[in-house]
Amino acid sequence: MIEVEHVSKRYGATLAVDDVSFVIRPGEITGFLGPNGAGKSTLLKMMSTWLPPTAGTIRIAGFDVTREPLAVRRSLGYLPEHNALYETMRVDRFLRFAGRARGLDDERLAGRTAWVVKACGLTEVWSKRIQQCSKGYRQRIGVAAALLHDPPVILLDEPTHGLDPLQVAAFLDFVRELAEGRTILFSSHVLSEVVSVSHRMLVIHHGRLLVDEPVGPLRERAGARGLEGHLLDVVRGAARAEAAP
């Protein structure tokens, strides 16, 4: 599971994340929404041990990101917003390299590679160099590398960026299938995608958590306005409150 307790992050005088707390349990897909610059990626980087929190505690699968970063990384599959791949490597060799880096032995690597190739639909590009693959396939390769070691916690930062509508629909179905026994945080600014796949919603604005609630009750409260209208009202209300003298 993911446990975030009173976490803040400062960059000098700038408070990027402001006293955020939430818990995501196994089997739960949680959508993470917010405007550009809201603090989503900063929180994800702290969860993945890229950045240390200025204050507060983050635990991934029971491991503290500050005191036990290697255990956190073993428990985590992370697809960052900017998918970093070795462009000149072939897809098959890249995934073999990723599996070795994760410490998978030959038997385990062969089994997991067969699974991610099928699950992510990589057969067509298996022997191509990554630089020859489309943006959509590069996203799939990044997802495959993130899932290769079968992590219990998955962080997805804008995972559908660059995918066409059919690929988006297939990817969202794939995320639903992944949820059994896993904890998934799905970060995006596309509300329709997040709502279609998530059990809960987190909404962040200027580093502060505005919403942490199951999708069902949120829909009921939104009523005729619809969920998108309701969440936009929440963010606009927070912005007006910040601007007030």
Domains of the chain by residue range: 2-75+151-243, 85-150
Question: How many angstroms separate the CA atoms of 188 and 80, rounded?
Answer: 11
pLDDT at residue 225, rounded to an integer:
75
End-to-end CA gap in the chain: 40
pLDDT (mean) for 2-12: 95
Which residues have a Cβ under 8 Å from the Cβ of 126 and sit 6 or more positions away?
A: 91, 92, 117
Q: Identify the band that residue 244 occupies on the pLDDT scale cut at 50, 70 and 90.
A: low
With a threshold of 0.85, does the pTM exceed it? yes
pLDDT (mean) for 131-144: 88
Closest CA to 178 of 203, 159, 192: 159
Model confidence pLDDT, tens digit, residues 169-191: 888 888 888 888 889 999 887 88
Burial of 113 (0-12, 13-18, 19+ CB in 10 A): buried
Q: What is the CATH number of domain 2-75+151-243?
A: 3.40.50.300
Q: Classify strands 55-60 and 2-11 as parallel, antiparallel or unpaired.
A: antiparallel
